Amino acid sequence: MVTPLSKHDAEIVKGLLATRAEIAARLLSEKLGIYPSTAQSTSQDWGEEYLSIMYSSTLEKYGWRQIEFLVATVGGKTMAIGKELLKHDQVAYVARTIGQFNIDLRVEVFVRGNDDLINMIEKVKAMDGVKELIWSEIVEVVGRKDHIPEETLAALEKKEAIKPVK
């Protein structure tokens, strides 16, 4: 069942995404029992250096599908293709990748249905410098952890990258 998203709701969602750092600082201050200004200034000082805040989408409730494109490029055009993809309203995220020998870009796309998906795939495949496109869609989340593994925290503390809160 698709739940309609009102214009007001859409504006709230956009606002939340646009102000994620301020919201995160407020929630952190509440959890730690410190002043919001302390959490916000601290997060501004080192937040961008150490943290990347990401959100999971629940837009499927509103009829949207979240698709991941894995794009192989040729001719040294990876960055140009990535910037061009960001011009599309359906594209939420583009990143250069390493690892798999033929995947250069990871692209997060939101579509309404199969027609939108096929049209977007065809647009990307038609771009100069795109060699191949593979797409994937999450159908079920098995689970999610919302913490940093203890081993990672211990290693960070030893290197004094972060100082433990007392």
Mean pLDDT over residues 139-157, rounded?
Answer: 72
79: tokens are 């960055």
Angle formed at CA 132 by CA 126 and CA 138, multiple of 5 degrees: 105
pLDDT of residue 43: 47
CATH number of 82's domain: 3.30.70.920
Domain that holds residue 34: 1-55
Please indicate, yes or no, whether residues 116 and 82 belong to a single structural domain of this protein. Answer: yes
Please indicate, yes or no, whether residues 131 and 64 belong to a single structural domain of this protein. Answer: yes
Asked if the structure places residue 89 within a domain, the reply is yes
pLDDT of residue 103: 93
pLDDT of residue 141: 78
Asked if the structure places residue 157 within a domain, the reply is no
Please indicate, yes or no, whether residues 32 and 70 belong to a single structural domain of this protein. Answer: no
pLDDT of residue 54: 55
Asked if the structure places residue 112 within a domain, the reply is yes
Residue environment code for 135-148, b if the CB has 16+ CB neighbours within 10 A, otherwise e? eeeeeeeeeeeeee
Give pTM, 2 decimals. Answer: 0.61
Please indicate, yes or no, whether residues 69 and 106 belong to a single structural domain of this protein. Answer: yes
Mean pLDDT over residues 126-140, rounded?
Answer: 93
Q: What is the pLDDT of residues 29-74, one digit of tens each?
A: 677 777 766 655 554 444 555 455 555 556 777 788 899 999 999 9
Split into its structural domains, the chain has a count of 2
Q: What is the pLDDT of residues 71-130, one digit of tens each?
A: 999 999 999 999 999 999 999 999 999 887 789 999 999 999 999 999 999 999 999 999
Please indicate, yes or no, whether residues 33 and 101 belong to a single structural domain of this protein. Answer: no
Where are the alpha helices (H) located in 103-165, listed in sequence order?
114-125, 150-158
Asked if the structure places residue 11 within a domain, the reply is yes
Please indicate, yes or no, whether residues 65 and 132 belong to a single structural domain of this protein. Answer: yes
Asked if the structure places residue 165 within a domain, the reply is no
